[in-house]
Amino acid sequence: MNPNNYLILAAILFTIGVYGVLVRRNAIIVFMSVELMLNAANLAFVAAARNTGTLDGLVIAFFVMVVAAAEVVVGLAIIVTIFRTRRSASIDEASLMKY
Amino acid sequence: MKVSVEYQALAPIIILLASGVLSVLVEAFIPRTLRRPIQLMLVLASIVLAFAYVVINATAELAGDPLVNGGQVKGLRELAASGSIAIDGPGMVIQGIILLISFVAALLLAERQIDPQGDAFASRSSTLPGSEDERQFTAQGWLQTEIWPLYLFCVGGLLLFPVSNDFLTMFVALEVFSLPLYLIASMARRRRLLSQEAALKYFILGAFSSAFFLFGAALIYAATSSVNFSTVAVAMENSSQDGLIIPGIGMIAVGLLFKVGAVPFHQWVPDVYQGSPTPLTAFMSAATKVAAFGALLRVFYVAFGGMRWDWRPMMWVVAVLSMVIGSLLAVTQTDMKRMLAFSSVAHTGFILLGVISTSAAGLSSTLFYLLAYGFTSVGVFAIVGLVRDASGEATHLSQWAGLGKKSPWIATIFALFLLALAGIPLTSGFTGKFAVFTAAIDGGATPLVIVAVVASAVAAFFYARVIVLMFFTEPPVDGPSVVVPSALTTVAIGTSAAFTVLLGIAPQPVLDLVINAGLFIR
């Protein structure tokens, strides 16, 4: 199977992630969509590593997984704090600051 | 391939990250009463030591390859960590600026006299705002020192970001300095709902943009089979895969322009600057912007230098939008911190002029502007933190009326910073703008400079409005007052004011320094 198809799949997953961030209202779902974008990038790295015959992409995939895990820790901490304060994880309701 | 680590070249980064680890241990094992002095010593000592190493590296007698140096330029210039990190002239200048700003900002973060309840951070950030727990912890005078490990990791990441020489290192550095910032942003003592909201917005948008950066890097990797900037630059010359390269450049630009806060990726700036604890805003508005511009310069000069005809039009649009929208929206603001945030967006546009010139003059003038703007920005937010009433900081513009009559000194220094931001001669802002505009005209961007001058005129209006408000209106009856800070904040404001004046009346030594810094190595 042509490895380029995996690049296309990665682009589709990334677009789904972007759509989720822009459209969904629950902070957790938005956050999941961001993770989907990171994983799409991972898939692109691995597919490109196969395509180009280099190892960099595979190594990067591991780094990205670690970074994503760290981001989950910080992100969930912030979202849980907001949820405890407001009893809601909706990002639309966090709107005290506007023009 | 032999893997090597050049410890001396990397010493500043290693010192900061190692102190971060130490600082976590201090937090875990040292009794509460001793923590603050120890943490503060650790932070200030590690920043000073790292700065000393930057100076040593920058003045080392011909330490690097004599062919690279040509026997002319002093100082270390080498690719460290197997080509992942490039310690070169501009990189070391940016590291130096970040360390200077971090030192001054650390003094602001450590201030404990401004707020009668303690410092600028919540007594316990885990308590619910307005709850009985929170009242008890505050009444018992609990103060947290947890920001210091976060701060050290953040500064370490900021030092790595502008010298990273491949997309992986750059992405990791980006996250290393961003994650602590998201957390500290949520920890304000007063107006905690705003602070938490700022952290949420900063985090969601920050993670969103770094995912763009990463996917862009993946596309570049797919096209050039490398993530190393020098290899990417060579591979792009001969590559026919524009379908991957152009979107890749665009997505990496999104990630970096978000961090510098350029329009149309600026929506987080006003909210995060307003909601965060003010000392952190001072740090963030200066140090993060310096580091992010350092990284932006390196990526677009080294990796994408050969593609400049493709990315310049995009940068033109971003620069014009940043200058115009930043200045216009700043005029409409009624909150001091928000107004300064939009002014920071406009300044991003001005600094982008230097990036667009893609010349040695563009690079050196950008470095100068970053130093000048960084210190002015720290000073301006330091003073914003001093004007308070019973409920905390008084940031509404109307509350600043007549401040010049009540506290002439502070109002005068604030006016000095505002004039520097507006770019009035004899302040650092003028020298910076002049250098950047000259470089942009030489680089063929005259229409942009015309827009920039018009935007500066609009910007001068809202800075002047604050000055008029402070000096020529009657103070309200129950208005806020200027709190007398401890020596920490006084030193911070004094240093910023000194830099602002000195870089305005005698900029030549610093101009020589940034010109001698030379170009990025490949």
* pLDDT for B70 beyond 60: no
Residue B61 has a pLDDT of 56
Residue B292 has a pLDDT of 96
Query: φ and ψ at A16, to 5 degrees?
Result: -60, -40
| Average pLDDT across chain B, whole number | 90
B117-140 residue pLDDT tens: 888 888 888 888 888 888 888 888
Q: How far is B413 from chain A (nearest CA, A)?
A: 28
Residue B68 has a pLDDT of 47
More confident residue, B185 or B307: B185
Q: Tell me the count of A-B CB pairs closer than 8 A.
A: 127
B77-125 residue pLDDT tens: 778 888 899 988 899 999 999 999 999 999 999 988 888 888 888 888 8
Query: Which pLDDT band, with edges at 50, 70 and 90, does A2 fall under?
Result: confident
High-pLDDT (> 70) share of chain B, %: 97
Residues of chain B with C-beta less than 8 angstroms from the C-beta of A7: 222
Contact between B129 and B193 under an 8 Å Cβ cutoff? The reply is yes
Residue B122 has a pLDDT of 85
Q: Which of B192, B204, B211 sits opposite A38 (nearest CB)?
A: B211
Residue B440 has a pLDDT of 94
Contact between B189 and A92 under an 8 Å Cβ cutoff? The reply is no
* pLDDT for B419 beyond 90: yes
Looking at B111-191, list the stretches that DSSP marks H as alpha helix, in order from N- to C-terminal side. 132-139, 147-160, 167-185
DSSP single-letter state for residue B335 = B
**B205-222: b (≥16 Cβ within 10 Å) or e:** bbbbbbbbbbbbbbbbbb
* pLDDT for B64 beyond 70: no
* pLDDT for B227 beyond 70: yes
Residue B406 has a pLDDT of 86
B315-347 residue pLDDT tens: 999 999 999 999 999 999 999 999 999 999 999
Candidates A5, A23, A25, A60, partner chain B, best to mutate (most B CBs within 10 A): A60
State which residue of chain A sits closest to B226, comparing Cα positions: A56
Q: Which of B199, B211, B338 sits opposite A34 (nearest CB)?
A: B211
DSSP single-letter state for residue B287 = I
Alpha-carbon torsion (A47, A55, B224, B168), positive or negative: positive
> Residue B78: helix, strand or coil by DSSP?
strand
Average pLDDT over residues B1-23: 89
CA distance B191 to B200: 15
* pLDDT for B164 beyond 80: yes
Radius of gyration of chain B (CA): 22
pTM of the model: 0.94
* pLDDT for B73 beyond 90: no
Residue B71 has a pLDDT of 46
Average pLDDT over residues B442-456: 93
Residues of chain A with C-beta less than 8 angstroms from the C-beta of B208: 21, 34, 37
In the numeric block, the tokens 């002049």 are attached to B434
In the numeric block, the tokens 């943009």 are attached to B209
Average pLDDT over residues B206-215: 96
Residue A29 has a pLDDT of 95
Residue B155 has a pLDDT of 97
Residue A74 to residue B221, Cβ atoms within 8 A: no
B452-510 residue pLDDT tens: 999 999 999 999 999 999 999 888 877 788 888 889 999 999 999 999 999 999 999 99
Q: Which of B196, B212, B218 sits opposite A48 (nearest CB)?
A: B218
How far does CA A36 lie from the centroid of its chain?
A: 4
* pLDDT for B72 beyond 60: no
Report the phi/psi class of residue B74: left, alpha or beta, with left for phi > 0 and alpha for psi in -120 to 50. beta
Domain locations in chain B? 11-516
CA distance B114 to B493: 14
* pLDDT for A68 beyond 50: yes
CA distance B262 to B326: 9
Residue B74 has a pLDDT of 59
State which residue of chain B sits closest to A99, comparing Cα positions: B333
* pLDDT for B66 beyond 50: no
CA distances from B133 to A87, B124, B143, B474 (A): 18, 9, 14, 41
Query: φ and ψ at B382, to 5 degrees?
Result: -60, -40
Residue B144 has a pLDDT of 84
